[in-house]
Structure formats: structure tokens, C-alpha cells
Chains A and B, each alone.
Chain A
Amino acid sequence: MSAPAGLATPGTGDTARPPALVLDDVRVVRGGRTVWSQGTLAVPAGAIVGVIGPNGAGKTTLFQVALGLLPIAAGRVEVLGAVPRRGDRRIGYVPQNYTAALGDAIRCRDLVTLGVTGHRFGLRRTTAAERARVDEALRRVGALEYADRRMSQLSGGQQQRVAIAQAIVDDAELLLLDEPLANLDLRNQQEIVTLLGELRRERAVTIMVVAHDLNPLLPVLTDAVYLLDGHPHHDPIGEVVQEDLLTHLYGTTVRVVRTAQGDLFTRATGPDPA
């Protein structure tokens, strides 16, 4: 299916495939409160999308709608050309604060394996083909060397890699990553960002990333979904990294700086919007 009529199709994505995410006048209510409304947008397949907005704007809620975990109050949603449903194996998901919640009791390799077999009832053993896929996913994110250790024994950056391995092990077409860069140092942030760019090129996967700080992601982002004044919007990244838009979005003065090397940065410079 194609995007709803009247939507601008951003030039960054793959127009031969259905959009990764389509919202058509969607309103989301949680606990009696409207989180956001009038959501009308189409995220093209193959994009890397930053999902930005102030705290509590409903970024994680957007993911839950896409995952079929939260029914919408009004409108229509399509994910990868179909109505969202729980257990869609084409979506890989890394929740917020994910790795902090994982304890002592699981090895990295077993956690990734659950991404393939974890929904299956009964005693069937993991097949050699499935084990090979787990190894391949761990290798792809650079986690193979510590695959046999417990999650709790890894650093934050290593844990995030394993989490991404679990999300891609089933050949997901859409990755939903909620704050994957939180609590990572600069080097690990950049390595994860580089990995996301590589995954997109190699697998033609669509990646949506919730982020508080756009800057580390700017080198790879093609699009952004931003939650402004209670409504989600979508634009190519170049149209989002604008001083007046970001200033309005975050409620504090934001400057956009281009370095001598051509890299874009955003800076918060003052407490009040001009």
C-alpha cells in the first residue's frame, strides 16, 4: 500500500517498497490523557529516522503503537504495509534502559537466541541453522568475542551491541531503538551510530531511533519524526535541523552550527526561546 494521498514523500527513502510506518490522523490516548494527536506522516522504507521531542512527548508511545502494544484511539496506522500486530517478526525492538534491566542470569548468546526461538513453546532443540544465525548477528555487531559472557559482565556499549544483535537476528525490516545511545561515552556512541549506518546499507532496513541528543546521530540520519506541540511530524533531516524549529521543539534557544569540516551540530544556548 502507498502513503495517504496528499503527503509529501521525502526524497531519502526507497519508494518501491511500502513506507515503513504510516500514520493517518492518529490520536493516542493513555490513561485518559491524549499523548499526541493528528498524527499524519509516512516514514519511507530504508530511512534512518531520529525520533525527537521533549520528555513526555510520546516518543516511546509511538514505538508501542508501531509494535501493536498500544491500541490507537483514532485514525489508521500501517507498519511495513500492514496493521500493527504484536509479534510481527519483521520488527526488531530494543526498549529504553533495556540492558540495565537484564541481570546476571543470561548469556549474551542465549539472549540473542531468544530473538529467534523465544516465542516457541515445547522442547525442540535449537537447530544448527538457528545457531549459525545467532553467531552471524553477534559477529555483525562485533559481539562474538564476548558472546559466552553474561550480560551483566559487559560494558554499556557491549550490552547495546548485543541488544542490537537480538533485534537483527531475525532479519528485521524495521528496527525500533529506544535511546540506544543513553549512558554511552562518545566513542561508543559513534561506534553504535556507525553500525546503524552500515546495517542500513547492507540490509536495506529502516531504522527509527529515539534520541535526546541529535548530534551523534546526525551523520547517518536521513529523516526525523519530531513531536511538536502534541503532534508528530515527519521531514527529511535537513528540514528539521533548523534553529527556529528546534528552538520551538525544545523550548530553549537552539543554534545550528556547521563546522569547517561540514559537520552539523546543534547547541542549546539559552533558557528562553527568543
Chain B
Amino acid sequence: MTPLAVTVQFQDDWWSVLQTDFMRNALIGGSLVAVAAGLLGYFVITRSNAFAAHALAHIGFPGATGAILVGAPITLGLAVFCVGGGLLIGLLGRRVAEREIATGTVLAFATGLGVLFGSLASANASTTTSVLFGNLLAVSDDELVVFALFTAGVALALAVIARPLVFASVDPAVAEARGVPVRALGVAFVVLLALTITMAVQVVGTLLLFGLVVTPAATALRLTARPGRVAAIAVAIALLSVWTGLVLAAMVDLPPSFFVVTVSVLVWACVLVATRGPGGVHRGHGHAGGHTHDAVPTTGSATAL
């Protein structure tokens, strides 16, 4: 067995590695994914869609192996399964509790299909590995074009629906009474999420997707609750993670997915520590005297009817 120190070796030529075509594609592709993922993160969290986001990434797995089976582009297979799975989850589960069950069921079936397709296509282990863990260094020119279109589409669609989507996400009951098309926005959001996940899966893989979609927005939410700022900070953290991850990967010649996710998680951990404690901006409590739930017994004058 090779000693770890030999496996992890500093690459003196990392700067020239960064200037290669595949690194350039990785930087551009990773940045496009970071932008889309950062923009959507706020909604994934406020809509309690984190499990669905995670599941969608896995639901993409049979799409990828199925695409290999029939000789179609992997991006297409991923997109079809992610969007289809998202719509199915949206249709089956309207409330959060139902959605968890619907998500889990669709997820199980999709993963089963993925194993079947992978076996039928006799996809080798490295193909499966690249779907599960992403392979940023294998982003092709064609995929870059697709990524650019997806990211532009996500950004444009969000520009149009962002405000009602915020309303429908944080305050669905009032939004519905106010005439906001809550259901339709939910479906639109799932489609945007599925497109983003289609890209993100190829960057960080189905298993590490959280690091780009959920973690940067969760970090931003600890710093501010203003949706626009959350999106801006989340995009910045996601970009930082992708860029730093790629440079580190070039330096030691190891998979970038690990470093991308590690940077994202480290930023989150630092912010978590910094915003905790008495001076933290987060989870402060109400004004003195304003506390309500158990302060005064309510039986003083009358029995509740």
C-alpha cells in the first residue's frame, strides 16, 4: 500500500496545469454552477426543500447511467430525470410532510433504476464514480454551452419570479390569499432547481451537492435575512469554493470535488462559530418583557372557552 505522503504530493507545475484547456473549462463550468446554486439556495432552505434537492441529485443517477445505456449525452439524461423527478415530487407531495414521503419513495425507485441501468450498460466503475462524486475536470466545450444556457435561464426566470417566490416560500398561506400563484411558483422553482442540480451533479457529484446548493445559502442566512443579500453572499461563497477547490486540486493532483466542498463547509463552520454566542447576530431573543408563552398564567380571570 502506498504511503499517504507519496499519494498527496505537491505539484510544482500547478500553475501550468491551471492554464490547460480542461482547467479552463472546469473554472468556467464550476463558476456557472456556483452562480445558479447560490441564487437558488435561499429558496431551497426557506421552502424546506433541502431533502428534495439532495434527492433530485440522486434521482439524476439513473438519468446518467440510462444515458450511457442508450448512448445519449449524460447532461440530457440527468436533466430529464431531475426535472421529471422534481415534477413528480411536486405533484405527489403538496405539504412538507407528504413531500418528505413522496421524495423518499421517488428517490428509492430512481436509485434502483440507476443500479439497473448501470449494470445493463456495463458502465465501468469510474463512470459511476464520476456521477456520484462529480468530475469537474471532464467538463466538455459542449457541456459549457449547456451550462451557460441553464445558468442564464435560471437567472432570468428568478429575476421575474423572485419576489412572489419569496412571498410563497416564507409565507405561503397569506401569499395564496393575496392571489400569488403558490402552486405554479412551486412547480417553476422545482424545474429551476432540477436544471441547477443537473449541472451541479457534474461538478461535485450527487453525493456532495449540498456543499454548493445548501451550505453557501445557509452560511449567508446566518449573516443576513434579506433575500437579495443572501443570494449575493451565497453566490460569492460558492464561487470562492469552486475557485479555491480547483487551485488546491491542481496543487496536489487530487479530485476537486473534495476541495470545493471542503472550502464551502469551512466557510460555513467559521461563520457558525463567529455568529454564535451572546454577541451573535443570530437567534437573539425578543425584548425583555416581551416573552409570552409561559410568562403569566391565563387562568386568572376566566376559564378559556
Which residues of A approach B to under 8 Å, CB–CB? Answer: 52, 67, 69, 86-89, 91, 93-95, 98, 101-107, 110-111, 114-115, 117-123, 146, 149-150, 152-158, 166, 183-189, 212-215, 246, 250, 254, 265-268
Contacts and interface: CB of A to CB of B under 8 A. Distances in A.
14 contacts: A67-B177, A87-B177, A102-B171, A120-B163, A120-B164, A153-B286, A154-B286, A155-B292, A185-B294, A214-B305, A215-B301, A246-B305, A266-B302, A268-B305
Interface of B: 42, 45-46, 159-164, 166-167, 170-171, 173-180, 221, 225-227, 230, 282-287, 290-296, 298, 300-305
Given A265-B302, A267-B303, A119 B283 contact: no
B296 A185 contact: yes
B298 A186 contact: yes
Main SS of the interface on chain B?
loop
The 4 A-B residue pairs with the shortest CB-CB distance in the complex, in nearest-first order: A87-B179, A118-B167, A155-B286, A156-B292
A146 B282 CA distance: 14
A43 to B, nearest CB: 18
A86 B303 contact: no
B172 to A, nearest CB: 8
A91 B302 contact: no
A86 B183 CA distance: 14
Contacts of A91: 177
Nearest to B305: A213
B305 A110 contact: no
B304 A213 contact: yes
A121 B161 contact: yes
Contacts of A265: 301-302
Contacts of B285: 153, 155
B304 A146 contact: no
Contacts of A254: 305
Given A114-B166, A153-B285, A183-B292, A119 B173 contact: no
B39 to A, nearest CB: 13
A153 B284 CA distance: 6
B168 to A, nearest CB: 8
A138 B18 CA distance: 54
Contacts of A111: 170-171
Contacts of B221: 104-105
